Structure 1
Amino acid sequence: MGIADRITSVRLSHVDLPLSTPISDAKVLTGRQKPLTRVAFPFAEITAESGHRGLGFGYSKRAGGPALYAHAREIAPELLGEDPNDTGRLWSKLVWAGASVGRSGVAVQAVAAFDIALWDLKARRAGLPLAKLLGAHRESVDVYNTSGGFLSSPLEQVLDNADLARSRGVGGIKIKVGSPDPAEDLRRVEAVRAHLGDGVPLMVDANQQWERSAALRIGRRLEAYDLVWIEEPLDAYDAEGHAALAAALDPPVATGEMLTSVAEHTALIDANASDVVQPDAPRVGGITPFLRITALADRKGLSLAPHFVMELHLHLAAAYPGTAWVEHFEWLEPLFEERLQLKDGRLLVPDRPGLGLTPSDRAARWTVDSVLVREG
């Protein structure tokens, strides 16, 4: 079998995105993390001999951005001379290139930007949006907003943010819980539900801050508010606890965003630990492993709600056979020239080829370092 094309260069960049306002969730209020002020992105631009190009990126909040970029720089030469069509084989090659530091965490997340770029290249060459290349099941996906519901925002601001999101065309609203005072959590949920009215999709996210007994006790109190799901009530790796909670509560349980490998997701899915799976393509190593996870989820009849990065996850959620949601964050919008469109509570799949994204001038200004790896 001959080589259809060859990768001739890889441009790798470290972009540091500043947030306009420091963000706090339950992990900050419980003292486990500091407020989030910046997000680091390794960007990869892959060019093939045919002239086709692909753009991909990963990310890291708080710590880890320089480590992702450094590991990606080390393994980038492995792509030179390779056929960009061979996404599965190249994913394995890149993972094995860094296998001495593991097959999850930074070692896998550093691969994500390359893998996403290869899929973007493939879709651009075909002249198709990525969702269409993957086999779309829908032209738009239900969308909910998270960025307006952080615990660092006073309740009145959360209500105003919800109104703004809904006016833009967002369907559902998610707010953060898991503060040191459960009574305050319940007060905020009750107020948001009353403000939105019945029937508007409402989710809550505890960011792993409850112990098993507290999660059950608070979860039962939350049953009164007709929630679409309760997210990350327990430690991300507590499959047994999540399974027990999912069986005990009426609202669906959602989790998975913090996991960084197919194996970790498989363990939760096999344990019936959630009703809604929340893989994050950049965290699990890109689109190639993401599709393996969603195949397992679909077999179990689970709903899908990928974490963060709506610019990418919109395409992947559109290609999922079952119920799917996309998480609306406007944080990444300054990085790209294009904007996604909202309509009637749904996010529309763009008709541009690939991901349909072009790095902005601001992304260039926020670039900390960049390297071009090429043949010769």
Structure 2
Amino acid sequence: MTTSTAPTVPDTRPSRAAAVVDRITGVTLSSVTLPLANPISDAKVFTGRQKPMTEVVVLVAEIRTESGLEGFGFGYSKRAGGPAQLAHAVEVAPELIGEDPSDIARLWTKLVWAGASVGRSGASTQAVAAIDVALWDLKAKRAGLPLAKLLGAHRDSVRCYDTSGGFLHETIEQVCDNATRTLEAGIGALKIKVGLPDTAEDVRRVTALREHVGPDVPLMVDANQQWDRARAVRAVRALEPLDLVWVEEPLDAYDAEGHADLARTFDTPIASGEMLTSVAEHLELVRHRAVDVIQPDAPRIGGITQFLKLATVAEQHHLTLAPHFAMEIHLHLAAAYAHEPWVEHFDWFAPLFHEELETSGGRMHLSDRPGLGVTPTDRLRAWTTRSVTVGA
């Protein structure tokens, strides 16, 4: 006698279990004052609009959950705004307690509307950005993946250029020395600040750097919004023979029409976007075809959730993506962009994190560390001026 066993049929009935897999129990928000080794000057200092920069104030968000996971995020402000960002973040953070940290888009909207009376751009959304970055860091850690891999990376390394060695407070001889060290460190391109009162001096400095590094090193310039339309035309025309990758912020950041005129007139690509604080503001640049290179800053426009929205639009318009500053965040976002992007190398945040980002062959490389892949140092804790915990 033989006995037959019926095949096992999988149970395809819908599960009635709750979709929530974890809940937020606590959020710690901290303001960290990062001192800079030397006062930093760009064109805004030489036009009298700002004083030299001596520090960066970093807003840190650390999120904890019932399951014991922790997410780490940060934003920043330069010269002013740090206390405002912290105050706003502390006000809206209670909205997170008890929520599922995986529902990032919904939580972004909830936090923004909790503080919508002061607007949905600027300091309010910059405060939310640090929290948003921490939520994405946590989500990637839950998956055991680097953030770029969670988002769907197109590449494991990104072209990178250095800015921190090209400021106007240094002589062109110092800038050239900095450039040599930068290239030896495996960073593939250089950006130098322009926008001095004497445009001829700008051209002299850029020409000297081009002669120093040779014709094959990609070179960018940044006027930090300090030219008017007529002067920008003259300056870009004078710089065109130097074969620049782009001219950045030649005009006021909100002058989309002026940028569009430059983009139509010259072969040298026009770049802008770092000073805008919402996706809507960037869409004006796209609508006017004002830039060839778009430069959003995730901490400034509301975090990774908003950055991804803008990246989709930029991809559809075949724009080059070159996120501003905060390379610890932007390396991941650039790696997930469809068209070959750039990442800006700034070494200012190095004292805050144990990990260093690897550069070689002109590119910045992803690591296998989950999330953002950074952990805070004792110096970050020592430079913390105020810390507030909401929840457990």
Pair 1:342-2:355 in alignment:
no
Unpaired stretches in structure 2, ≥5 consecutive residues: 1-17
Pair 1:93-2:120 in alignment:
no
Matches within 5 A, 1:294-333: 294-333=311-350
Instruction: After TM superposition, give the deviation of residue 217 of structure 1 in Å.
Output: 1.1
Letter in 2 for 1:184: E
Unpaired stretches in structure 1, ≥5 consecutive residues: none
- TM-score of the two chains, using structure 1 as the length reference: 0.99
Letter in 1 for 2:159: D
Q: 1:248 aligns with which of 249, 253, 265?
A: 265
1:201-260 CA deviation, whole Å, 9 max, x = no partner? 000000000011111111011110000000000000000000111110111000000000
Matches within 5 A, 1:353-364: 353-364=370-381
| Aligned counterpart, 1:38 | 55
| Aligned counterpart, 1:258 | 275
Instruction: After TM superposition, give the deviation of residue 323 of structure 1 in Å.
Output: 2.1
Quick one: distance in 2 between partners of 1:138 and 1:6? Answer: 33
Quick one: distance in 1 between partners of 2:76 and 2:286? Answer: 25
Matches within 5 A, 1:47-66: 47-66=64-83
Give RMSD over aligned pairs.
0.7
Instruction: After TM superposition, give the deviation of residue 71 of structure 1 in Å.
Output: 0.6
Q: 1:165 aligns with which of 182, 186, 206?
A: 182
Find the residue that maps to 1:45 and give its secondary structure: strand
Quick one: distance in 2 between partners of 1:184 and 1:97? Answer: 49
Letter in 1 for 2:377: S
Instruction: After TM superposition, give the deviation of residue 5 of structure 1 in Å.
Output: 1.1
Q: 1:181 aligns with which of 188, 193, 198?
A: 198
1:133-178 CA deviation, whole Å, 9 max, x = no partner? 0000001000000000000011110000000100100000000000
Q: 2:387 aligns with which of 360, 366, 370?
A: 370
Question: Share of identical aligned residues, percent?
Answer: 65
Find the residue that maps to 2:387 and give its secondary structure: strand
| Aligned counterpart, 2:305 | 288
Q: Is the 8 A contact 2:130 2:303 kept in 1?
A: yes
Instruction: After TM superposition, give the deviation of residue 4 of structure 1 in Å.
Output: 1.9
Quick one: distance in 2 between partners of 1:216 and 1:293? Answer: 28
- TM-score of the two chains, using structure 2 as the length reference: 0.95
Instruction: After TM superposition, give the deviation of residue 36 of structure 1 in Å.
Output: 0.3
| Aligned counterpart, 1:150 | 167
| Aligned counterpart, 2:212 | 195
Quick one: distance in 1 between partners of 2:343 and 2:201? Answer: 27
Find the residue that maps to 2:364 and give its secondary structure: strand
Quick one: distance in 2 between partners of 1:266 and 1:91? Answer: 20
Quick one: distance in 2 between partners of 1:369 and 1:221? Answer: 48
Q: Is the 8 A contact 2:292 2:320 kept in 1?
A: yes
| Aligned counterpart, 2:9 | none
Instruction: After TM superposition, give the deviation of residue 270 of structure 1 in Å.
Output: 1.2
Letter in 2 for 1:282: P
Letter in 2 for 1:331: W
Quick one: distance in 2 between partners of 1:18 and 1:353? Answer: 28
| Aligned counterpart, 1:222 | 239
Letter in 2 for 1:75: V
1:318-358 CA deviation, whole Å, 9 max, x = no partner? 00001200001000000001100011000001110000110
Instruction: After TM superposition, give the deviation of residue 290 of structure 1 in Å.
Output: 0.4
Quick one: distance in 2 between partners of 1:296 and 1:270? Answer: 10
Quick one: distance in 2 between partners of 1:194 and 1:339? Answer: 31
Where does structure 1 differ by over 6 angstroms across 4 or more consecutive aligned residues?
none
